[in-house]
Structure 1
C-alpha cells in the first residue's frame, strides 16, 4: 500500500487530559506504527497548557505517527475543573466539539478512553467503527462490567466494606477491594461515569486492553462470553521489552512535568538491587504523615531510596527526609522517567500506589512491589499483584486510627527484599518480565492481537 494521503488509514484517539490516560494512547500508537497508519490524539484544550515546556512534544516530530488535536471542554479557561463539573460539561458539549475534529479528516476508526464514554455514540453518529482502549487491569474491567450489567451477585449494601464478593477468576474480594468508583464513598459522579461506560459498550466493536494474556489469562477467558477483551500490551517503551537500552524515549510520552534526569546518575553509583523506588503517580499527593512515616522506616532500615514527591514542598517540609537526603541515603525528585528508573539494576523494589500504568511497567521491568493502593482501580490491582501475580506484599494503614505506621512500612520492605518469600517474588517477577517480552514479540499473543485489529481497521 502506498504512503500517499489517499492510501493512509487515519485513526482518532480520544482521551481526557490526564498523564495516565494520554501516555497509554501514545504507546498504543507507537506499537501500532505502520507506514500506512496515521494517528491523531485528541484531548481538551486544557492539555495544551499543562504539558511542560521541556516535555516531549510528539506532534511536533515529523517522523511521529501521532498528530495532536484539541477540543473545548466547554468551561472557561480559569474554571478549576472539579471532576463533577468537567464530566458534566463534556457530557453536554464534548460530542459537538469533537465532531469538528472528525469533520476535518476521514477517520477509519475512533479509539476512546473508557472515561470519555460519550465518544462511542459520536463515532456511531459519524458511522465510524469504535474501539475502547481499556487502560486498567482486565480484573477491574471484569468487576465494572459484572456490576453494571448485573451478571453477577454483589452485596446490596456496598457501604459495609467487610462484606465479600466472589467474581469469576478473581480471588475472593472484600467490598473494599472493588474499584472505588462503584462504591457510595467514591462519589455519584464517578458512579454515573462508569454506568455510562458500561452502556456505551453497545456502540463498541473492540475492547482493547493494556495487558497481556499470560498475565490475566483466566480473567480474559471469563469475559469471552460477555463483552470480550483483546489484550494488546504491555504498552511500554520498546527498551523495556528488550530493545536497545539506549533507545530514545522521544515521541513516546507527553509529560506534564519536566523529568529530573540527575537521579539516573545517582542510580549508576548505587549497588545492584539496593535502592527502594517510591512513587504514588501523577494524581495522588501523600500526606505529611505518610511521607514522614515512610522516611522514618527507610532510615531505621538503612535503605537507600529514590522517591518521587510532587509537589516538592511536601518533601522539604519533612525534617527526617531532608536529613537523609543531605546524608546521601537517598534522592527526592518531583518527576522522573519511570520506565528508565524501574529498569535500572540498582532498583530492588517499588513502593507503588498500584496505578495500572505503573503496574504494567513494573511487570515489564521485572521489579517486585510493595502495594499501597488508595482509590479507583488501585485496590483490586493490589490484590492482583499480591495474590494473582505473586510479585509483592500489601502495605496497609492501621485498622484503629487509619494511619500508616513505621512498623508496617518496615515489615513490607523486609518482606519484599530479604524475607523468606522475597526470592520467590523476584523469580516470579522475572518470569512475568520474560512473558511480557514474548507477548509483544513478533508472533506473541499481544502482537498477534494487535496485527489482527490493524487488519480489521485497514480493510473497513
Structure 2
C-alpha cells in the first residue's frame, strides 16, 4: 500500500491540535495465551496529572523514550506497534515506547498493548485528534473509509503535521520513529537534537526498484503510450527484473502529488538518523546490502515483526475467531486462504468471478471480504459451497490463519505484510497484485524467492483505469487455484522454498539472528546518540 504522499488536494478544514491523552489502552479482553518468543508489553496507568507510571518507576528517567508515529492504515499501524513492543521487550527497563495515534487507531492496537501487560515492559499510547476531513465518527484509516473517501484519509496525513510537531516539542522524546509520509519529523527531530528514523513497512526490493525507476521516469512516460511496453529495472543487484509499464505505480507514469514529492521524501529520509525496515536479510539478499549503501545512513532490518508464534486473534482489530475452529475441521495443507488486505475494493463483477472461480476449483477455501462489500457473490453461491468454503466479512486474524496447519496456499494481493507473513509461515503464495508496489513485490515472490506463482497470465494488468482487463475470469481463477494445489513439480518447488524461508525467518528473529541483532544495534545506537549527541547530520535538501 502506498502512503508516501497524499493523492488529493481537495478542500478540508484544518485538524484540531493540542488535545492529547496518555492512556494504557485497557479494553476488557478474554485471556490470551502468550508464547515465550512473543514480544511482551506492559500496561501503563494514567495519573491525574497526566504523567504515566509503569510497573516499576525505578530508573524511569533513564529509559530511552522512543515515540512512534504511524500513518492511517492498518498495514502501517500494526507492524509499527509490533516494533514498539519488540523494542520495549528487547531491553526491559531501558526502553519506553510510545505510540502516537488517533482515538480509533488507538482502539485497533489496544489488544496488542494489553496482551502482555504482566511482563512489565513499558509501552504506552499517546492519543491526538484525527484531523477534520469530513469523515464519519471513528473513520480514521483506509480500512474503514469508503473507496470514494480514501483521498480524505490521505489529506488527514497532511493536516496532522501541526499536531505531530506540537506533541513532539511538548514531550521531547529521545528518538522519533515515523512513517514515510511524515517527512516533517526530520525537521522537528533536528530542532530537538534527537534521532529521527523512517519506518518502512514495505521491503527493500520494491523500494530500490521504485527509486531506480524514478530516475528514468521521463523515459517511462515517453514509452507509456505504446501498449505492452516492458521496462527493465536499472541498477538492481541480482537477476534482471522486468515489468510492463501498465503494472508500474502511477507516480512513475503520470504526474501526481507523489511524483512531485518523491525526491523530497527521500531527501528527508537520507538526512535522518536511519531507516527501519520490516524485512529479514535472508529474504532480500543482496537487496539489503544495496539499500544500506544507497538509501539510508543506517539501515536496520528487524522483521518479520509478526511471527506466527506470537499471533493473537485480536491483533489489529476484532476478528472472526470462528474461522480458526473451521480450519481445524479440514485436512492438513488443504485450504486456500483468500485475502486482499484491508484496503482493496473489488468491483461487483470481479467479486462474482472470484466467487465462481473458487467454487469451480473444487478446493476448500477461506475467503475474507470487506465488511462493506455488496453484490460480491451470485445468488445461491454460499449455499452451494457451504462446508467446503467459509467467508469472513471484515477483519480476519491473518497471522493466526497463515500459521494454521490446514492452510496450504495463500491467494493474495501481494501487500508487503502479506508477503512477509506468508514467508514466515511457510505458506506458498498465489499472486494477484492490484495497486502500487504490489506488482513489484510479485517479482520477489515468483522470481527471486520463488515461493509463489501468478493467478493469471492471460491479460493486461495494472492499477490505472483503461489499462487493465475488466476482470480476471472465473475459469482462469479455477484453473490456477486447482493447479496450484495439485501435487507436482511446481507445487513441490514452491513448498520447499516456503519451508526454507520460514526457517530462515525464525532464525532471523531468534537470539543472535540477523533481525535480533539489528534490534539491539538500533537500541545501542539510540542510547549512544542520547549520551553523546547526534553525529553530524546530512543537510536536508527539500
Structure-1 separation of matches of 2:528 and 2:469: 59
Alpha-carbon distance change, 90 to 405 in structure 1, aligned in 2, over 3 angstroms:
closer
**Kept after mapping to 2: 8 A contact 1:115/1:193:** no
Q: Deviation digits for residues 3-29 of structure 1, max 9, x if unmatched? A: 422111110111112111101101112
**Kept after mapping to 2: 8 A contact 1:415/1:421:** no
Structure-2 separation of matches of 1:426 and 1:248: 22
Q: Deviation digits for residues 395-426 of structure 1, max 9, x if unmatched? A: 23634843201232123223422143111100
Matched, 1:25 2:80: yes
1:270 to partner: Cα distance: 0.5
Please report the TM-score for the alignment, with normalisation by the length of structure 1. 0.87
Structure-2 separation of matches of 1:452 and 1:264: 37
**Kept after mapping to 1: 8 A contact 2:72/2:153:** no
**Kept after mapping to 2: 8 A contact 1:368/1:416:** no
Matched, 1:159 2:159: no
1:227 to partner: Cα distance: 2.0
Secondary structure at 1:214 match in 2: helix
Q: RMSD in angstroms over aligned alpha carbons?
A: 2.9
- Matched with 1:201 is 269
Matched, 1:340 2:400: yes
- Matched with 2:442 is 382
Segments of 5+ residues of structure 2 without an aligned counterpart are: 1-55, 140-144, 461-467, 530-542
- Matched with 2:279 is 211
1:290 to partner: Cα distance: 2.2
Alpha-carbon distance change, 120 to 353 in structure 1, aligned in 2, over 3 angstroms:
same
The match for 1:366 among 420, 423, 426 is 426
Alpha-carbon distance change, 89 to 259 in structure 1, aligned in 2, over 3 angstroms:
closer
- Matched with 1:227 is 295
- Matched with 1:271 is 331
Matched, 1:105 2:167: no
Q: How many residues align?
A: 443
- Matched with 2:316 is 254
Alpha-carbon distance change, 158 to 234 in structure 1, aligned in 2, over 3 angstroms:
farther
- Matched with 1:328 is 387
- Matched with 2:46 is none
Q: Deviation digits for residues 174-226 of structure 1, max 9, x if unmatched? A: 244765153346x7133345343212123312111111111111112223431
Please report the TM-score for the alignment, with normalisation by the length of structure 2. 0.75
Structure-1 separation of matches of 2:383 and 2:223: 44
1:90 to partner: Cα distance: 4.3
**Kept after mapping to 2: 8 A contact 1:296/1:320:** no
Stretch deviating more after TM superposition (164-173 or 128-137): 164-173
Matched, 1:355 2:442: no
Secondary structure at 2:127 match in 1: strand
Structure-2 separation of matches of 1:323 and 1:172: 44
Structure-2 separation of matches of 1:422 and 1:290: 26
Secondary structure at 1:421 match in 2: helix
**Kept after mapping to 1: 8 A contact 2:165/2:188:** yes
The match for 1:411 among 479, 490, 507 is 479
Q: Deviation digits for residues 375-414 of structure 1, max 9, x if unmatched? A: 0211101111000110111123634843201232123223
Alpha-carbon distance change, 354 to 60 in structure 1, aligned in 2, over 3 angstroms:
closer
- Matched with 2:306 is 236
1:86 to partner: Cα distance: 4.8
Stretch deviating more after TM superposition (79-88 or 270-279): 79-88
Matched, 1:126 2:192: yes
**Kept after mapping to 2: 8 A contact 1:164/1:175:** yes
**Kept after mapping to 1: 8 A contact 2:71/2:77:** yes
- Matched with 1:42 is 100
Structure-2 separation of matches of 1:318 and 1:459: 61
**Kept after mapping to 1: 8 A contact 2:64/2:95:** yes
Structure-2 separation of matches of 1:316 and 1:408: 18
- Matched with 2:251 is 182
**Kept after mapping to 2: 8 A contact 1:120/1:200:** yes
Stretch deviating more after TM superposition (205-214 or 153-162): 153-162
Structure-2 separation of matches of 1:328 and 1:380: 36
1:65 to partner: Cα distance: 3.4
Stretch deviating more after TM superposition (164-173 or 208-217): 164-173
- Matched with 2:455 is 395
Structure-2 separation of matches of 1:235 and 1:66: 16
Structure-2 separation of matches of 1:98 and 1:449: 27
**Kept after mapping to 2: 8 A contact 1:231/1:449:** yes
1:77 to partner: Cα distance: 5.6
Secondary structure at 1:333 match in 2: strand
Secondary structure at 2:282 match in 1: coil
1:60 to partner: Cα distance: 9.5
**Kept after mapping to 2: 8 A contact 1:59/1:66:** no
Alpha-carbon distance change, 90 to 215 in structure 1, aligned in 2, over 3 angstroms:
closer
1:85 to partner: Cα distance: 5.1
